């Protein structure tokens, strides 16, 4: 459909999972894409895949736990392509911790990846858009757990709930610049990262997806490509004037009780 024809899109945390799916969908819709990540191997592999499919893409190596590298992911994209039109913050740290056992170090790790990195990437991207007096869009991939979440997600929830507030604050601050900033609270999704998390922290076996699906209303986990299509819609002009919205992309209904 060409929803993102000629747009320059940076997907932070884009080398796997939801981020990689967003990169694929953005290229399919006509965008020029940069993906950032800490590990070069999956990032370069994704870029090669996109190029083989006829897309234009680059990999930006960045440890998003470092705010300066988060900002540099934007500046390097703008230097390579001349500007940045769209930013997607999809990186996420989901290591476990409760209120009682979370250390200051673990808390800081969550803040760095789940809140600080999006903040400073947005700062750099919005500054580029404002400098050019050009419209732009940002989508922050958040989590339905930000509404409260499980007890073992305390630092994750704290950081991601902050990202909800940041999304709305930034959207309000830059609405007159025609910069639209929205978020998605995604539910349980079948990604490589979730597979590793289930095995590392919950002793999950090879059938954990089937067991999880049986407990969900739609009988399946969410899929990265489904989320990617929604992200692309929010990045594109087809989502109209919508800004400051944080949408629950989930099969459970907030506040609903059985």
Mean pLDDT within 37-59: 96
The pLDDT of residue 257 is 81
Contact 75, 108 (CB under 8 A): no
pLDDT tier, 93 (very low <50, low <70, confident <90, very high otherwise): very high
216 band by pLDDT with thresholds 50, 70 and 90: confident
Is the pLDDT score of 1 beyond 90?
no
- Give catalytic residue positions: 156
- 213 pLDDT more than 90: no
Residues 22-38: what's their mean pLDDT?
97
What pLDDT was estimated at residue 136? Answer: 98
What is the pLDDT confidence band of residue 20, given thresholds at 50, 70 and 90? Answer: very high
**pLDDT tier, 187 (very low <50, low <70, confident <90, very high otherwise):** confident
Cβ proximity of 25 and 232 under 8 Å: yes
The mean pLDDT value of the chain amounts to 95
In the predicted structure, residue 195 carries a pLDDT above the cut 80: no
């Amino acid at each position: 459909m060409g929803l993102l024809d000629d747009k320059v899109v940076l997907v932070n945390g884009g080398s796997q999972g939801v981020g990689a799916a967003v990169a694929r969908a953005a290229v399919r819709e006509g965008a020029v894409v940069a993906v950032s990540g800490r590990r070069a191997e999956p990032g370069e592999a994704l870029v090669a895949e996109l190029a083989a499919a006829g897309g234009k893409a680059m990999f930006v190596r960045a440890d998003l736990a470092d705010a300066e590298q988060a900002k540099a992911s934007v500046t390097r994209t703008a230097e390579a392509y001349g500007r940045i039109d769209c930013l997607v913050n999809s990186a996420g740290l989901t290591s476990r911790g409760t209120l009682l056992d979370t250390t200051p170090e673990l808390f800081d790790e969550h803040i760095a990846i789940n809140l600080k990195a999006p903040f400073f990437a947005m700062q750099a991207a919005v500054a580029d858009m404002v400098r050019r007096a050009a419209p732009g869009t940002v989508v922050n991939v958040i989590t339905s757990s930000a509404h409260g979440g499980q007890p073992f997600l305390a630092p994750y929830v704290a950081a991601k709930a902050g990202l909800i507030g940041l999304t709305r604050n930034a959207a309000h601050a830059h609405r007159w610049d025609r910069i639209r900033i929205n978020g998605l609270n995604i539910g349980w999704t079948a990604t490589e990262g979730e597979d590793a998390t289930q095995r590392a922290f919950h002793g999950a076996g090879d059938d954990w997806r089937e067991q999880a699906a049986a407990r969900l209303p739609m009988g399946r986990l969410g899929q990265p490509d489904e989320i990617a299509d929604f992200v692309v819609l929010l990045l594109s002009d087809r989502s109209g004037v919508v800004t400051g919205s944080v949408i629950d992309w989930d099969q459970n209904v907030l506040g609903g009780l059985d």
